[in-house]
Amino acid sequence: MTDLIDLNTLEILALYRDKTLSPLEYWQAVEARIEAFEPIVNALYAYDPESARAQAEASTQRWLKGEMLGPLDGLPVSLKELIATKGQPVPLGTKAVELVPAGEDAPVAARCREDGAILYAKTTCPDYGMLSSGLSSFHKLSRNPWDPTQNPGGSSAGAASAGAAGYGTLHIGTDIGGSVRLPAGWTGLFGFKPSQGRIPVDPFYTGRCAGPMARTVTDAAYAMATLSRPDWRDGTSLPPNEIDWLDLNADVKGLKIGLMLDAGCGLPLDDEVRDAVLSAAKLFEAAGAIIVPVEPVLTRDMLDGLDDFWRAKFWGDMVALSEERRDLILPYILEWASKGADVSGSRAVFGFNQTMEMRKSCGRLMQRVDAVISPTNPIVSYPADWASPTNDPQLPFEHIAFTVPWNMSEQPASSINCGFSKSGMPIGLQIVGPRFEDLFVLKLSKAFEDWSGGVKQWPQPPARG
C-alpha cells in the first residue's frame, strides 16, 4: 500500500498503460489509506467508498478496452465541499444551510467527471469558507496529518489534510484570499492558484479561483488540461488554451525575482519562516536568477477595507436567515460578520475599491520584476481547534497579507514546501508570476522542487494497536 501511495500521477498512469496496475487496485490502496488516517484527520465529507469501487471497476474495464474517457480516467480526485456535485448538498461548511441536493455539477466537477476521474468524496471547509482553519459548525474538526494537534489551515482544510495523508494524488480547493496556498503551505503540499478564470468556477466572484493541491508540481500541472477547459457559467472564464501543461523545464538565469519578506501589515514573520524563504531565494540565485528585495504591495487600509466589505457582504447573506438558523453558524464567524451591520454603504464601497488598489499595487511591482517570491504563511502553525491564527474575530485576516493581493490582481501564484520548523511542521514558499503566465509559475515551482528535492518523507499511518 505504501509503495502505491508514494507514486505520482504519471507513474500511476504508466502502470495502468502497462496493465501492471488497475484503477481498482490503486483505489483499494487509497481506500486503505483513508481507513488508516481518516479517524484522525477528518478530511472528508460525503465519502462513498462503494461508489468509488464501482467507478474504479468501470475505469478498469475502459483501460482494458483502450476506451478511456480522458486524462484523469481511473485517478481518484477529491473536490472541496464548496464545489457542487450533482445530487449532493453543498453545506458551505455550516449547519445554517439547508441541505438541498445540487442540481448540476459545478465546472470543476463536470470536467473531472467527463475525463473519467473517480470522485470519491468532498473535502471539508469551515463555515462559508471564511476561515483559514479546519474548524466548522457542520464538519468534524479537520487536523494536520503532520501533527494532529495542529491546524491544516483553510479554507481548503480537508483538501490539505487529504493530500498530506496520501488520499490519492489530486485534490481541488478554492481560493479567494489564500485558501489553496495557505493550507498547502501548512501541510507541505504544492498548491496552485491560477490566473482568474483559468479554471472556471460557479459561482464566480471577485478574486475567487479553484486550484489543484498535490504532493508534487507535476501532479498539479497534469490536472490543468482538464480543469482549465472553459465554462460559460464563469463570466471570467478564459478562452480555450493550447498550453502544454507538462512543459515544465525552466531556465531562471537572468530572471529578476523580487524577494518580499514584509507583507506591509498582518502578523509578524516567524524567524523560522524567514530563514526558510531566504534559503529558497539562495537556490534561485545559485541557478542564475537575480534576487531583488521588494517592498510590500499591501497596506493596512487595503486589508481593513477588504475586511469591511466581506463583513458587510456576509452579514447581508446571514441577516436573510431565520434567527434559528443564524444561531447555528460558528460563533466566531457570526461575531465577525455581525459587525457588517455597522458598515455603511459608502464604507462598503470604499472597502471593495481596495481590491482595485491591490491590483494597481501588484501591477506596479510587476513592472520591475519577472516574478515574486515570499512566505506563503507568516507563521509556522497553530492549534487545530483555533478558528484562525489569531483566534480573534476582530483580527480575522492578519495571516493572509502575503496571499490575498494576488487574488485581487488576478495573477497566478503557488505555494511549495521550502523546509520545516524545528517542531517538524512544513513551511511554504509562495511564487507569483504575471497575469495569465500560469505555466511560468508552474515552471518556476518545478525548478525549485527539483533543486530542493521536495518533501522526503510524508506522514505515515499510525501503528495499528
β-bridge pairing 290-293 and 256-259? parallel
Please list the helix, strand and coil fractions of the chain in percent, rounded to the nearest 5, in that order: 40, 15, 50
Beta bridge partners, 192, equal 414
Give me the long-range contacts of 194-197 (CB less than 8 A, separation at least 24): 194/224, 194/228, 194/412, 194/438, 195/238, 195/410, 195/411, 195/412, 195/435, 195/436, 195/437, 195/438, 196/236, 196/407, 196/410, 197/234, 197/236, 197/237, 197/238, 197/410
Dihedral pair phi/psi, residue 144, rounded to 5°: -85, 120
Active site residues: 80, 155, 179
CA 14, 56, 90 angle in degrees (round to 5)? 115
Indicate the residue type of 39.
P
Q: Can you tell me the distance from the alpha carbon of 114 to that of 104, in angstroms, rounded to the nearest whole number? A: 13
Nearest to 102 by CA among 121, 81, 118: 81
* CA 139 and chain centroid, separation: 18
The answer for residues whose C-beta is within 8 angstroms of residue 331's C-beta and 6 or more apart is none
Which run of H or E residues covers position 119? strand 118-123
- The three three-digit cell numbers of residue 239, written as one number: 478562452
88-91-95-97 Cα dihedral, nearest 10 degrees: -100
- The three three-digit cell numbers of residue 391, written as one number: 483566534
Q: Can you tell me the distance from the alpha carbon of 39 to that of 60, in angstroms, rounded to the nearest whole number? A: 29
Q: Mapping DSSP to helix (H, G, I), strand (E, B) and coil, where does residue 265 land?
A: coil
| 102 C-beta neighbours (distance < 10 Å), count | 15
Q: Can you tell me the distance from the alpha carbon of 349 to that of 418, in angstroms, rounded to the nearest whole number? A: 38
